[in-house]
Structure 1
Amino acid sequence: MHYLAATLHILGATLTDKAEATLATRPRHHLNPGDDHVSDRGAVTMEMVIWAVAIIGIVGIVVAAITNYVTSKAGSIR
């Protein structure tokens, strides 16, 4: 169980680092020379992907916990 949590934590940290590096190297296009507007196209999609991965990880942890509980209780049934 701890291996799964550690793996998901490392995966999340790796994805966060890669996303930050990608966003840092992305060229910023200004519509007007005096405009400080930064284009954030794709940021919402990236956020949705990160949330989806987090939810899948949480569901995986819950399923593993329930499976472990049911397996341990099934062993006590005659």
Structure 2
Amino acid sequence: MYYLAATLHTLGVQMRDTAIRKATKDPERGSVTIENVIWAVAVIAIVGIVVLAITNFVRDKAAEIR
């Protein structure tokens, strides 16, 4: 009888801990990662535009030398 009571008590404690863990989980957990990805894409786009501008400038100056 004690074994059954101990088993039920352990099961109840585990279920309570699981419910508390799920209820208190942070709803904005992945927002930092998404924000970092957006910033990385923006930085890559800006760097691409700068490289394109510098490449065009250098090609124009090289064309003037010929």
Identify whether the pair has TM-score above 0.5, normalized to the shorter chain.
Answer: yes
TM range (shorter): 0.5 to 0.7
Q: Report the equivalent of 1:64.
A: 52
Render the CA deviation track for 1:1-28: whole Å, top value 9, x for unaligned.
xxxxxxxxxxxxxxxxxxxxxxxxxxxx
Q: Unaligned 5+ residue runs, structure 2?
A: 1-21
**Aligned-pair identity (%):** 61
Higher RCO (CA 8 Å, separation ≥ 6 residues): 1
Tell me the matched-pair count. Answer: 45
* 1:39 Cα offset (Å): 1.2
Which of 28, 34, 40 is the equivalent residue of 1:52?
40
Which amino acid in 2 is paired with 1:43?
Answer: S
Where does structure 1 differ by over 6 angstroms across 4 or more consecutive aligned residues? none
| Structural RMSD (CA) | 1.8
Greater percentage in helix = 2
- Structure 2 length as normaliser, TM-score? 0.61
Q: Give the TM-score normalised by the residue count of structure 1.
A: 0.52
Larger C-alpha radius of gyration, 1 or 2? 2
